[in-house]
């Protein structure tokens, strides 16, 4: 693009009367834009979303308890391939459900915090979600895969 083309584009944009950028301010009465046009944030909604997300931990905790109870009767796995496979599956799911449980807690706290102070920037929220994603990752698939081949 030549300099003349650039100057022409800038002049056309100025002639259209583009809306100026406004940060952290309410639009003056009688003008369009801002919260009156649909941008709304309700602290109670954020808090409820966080509370509900953390509430998933109750059900996950019960599921972990039931899994553990069902595993209680399994003795040693030596010499019994199905028992060894069942133990491997249990260990995998125990780890996975435990990580989902932790992820729900972290995400719930993050949502509640965002609702409580609404001071987090998009970058802060993105970074916090990135930290959760890095800490809680899906486990590798097990079962049905050949060992030592």
Residues 67 and 96 sit within 8 Å (Cβ to Cβ): no
Give how far Cα 21 sits from Cα of 13, 14, 51, Å.
14, 14, 35
Task: Return the higher-pLDDT residue of 118 and 89.
Answer: 89
DSSP string covering 122-136: HHHHHHHHHHHHHHS
Nearest of 109, 74, 111 to residue 90 by alpha carbon = 74
Q: Give 77-90 pLDDT, tens digit per residue.
A: 677 777 788 888 88
Angle at 9 between CA 7 and CA 14, to 5 degrees: 95
Residue 16 has which token pair?
Answer: 């259209």
Q: How far apart are CA 78 and CA 71, in angstroms?
A: 16
CB 17 within 8 A of CB 75: no
Position with higher pLDDT, 144 vs 72: 72
> What's the full length of the chain, in residues?
149
For residue range 24-68, what is the model confidence (pLDDT) as tens digits? 556 566 555 444 445 566 778 888 888 999 999 999 999 988 888
DSSP state of 80: -
What is the number of other CB atoms lying within 10 angstroms of the CB of residue 64? 16
């Amino acid at each position: 693009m030549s300099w003349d083309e650039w100057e022409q584009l800038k002049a056309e944009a100025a002639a259209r009367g583009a809306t100026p950028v406004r940060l952290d301010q309410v639009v003056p009465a009688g003008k369009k834009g801002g919260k009156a046009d649909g941008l709304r944030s309700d602290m109670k909604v954020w808090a409820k979303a966080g509370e509900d997300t953390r509430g998933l931990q109750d059900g996950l905790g019960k599921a972990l308890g039931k899994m553990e109870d069902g595993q209680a009767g399994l003795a040693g796995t030596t010499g019994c391939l199905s028992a060894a496979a069942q133990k491997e599956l249990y260990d995998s799911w125990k780890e996975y459900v435990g990580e989902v449980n932790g992820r729900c807690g972290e995400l719930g706290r993050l949502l509640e915090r965002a609702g409580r102070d609404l001071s987090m920037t998009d970058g802060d929220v993105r970074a916090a979600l990135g930290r959760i994603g890095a800490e809680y990752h899906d486990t590798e698939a097990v079962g049905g895969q050949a060992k030592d081949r």
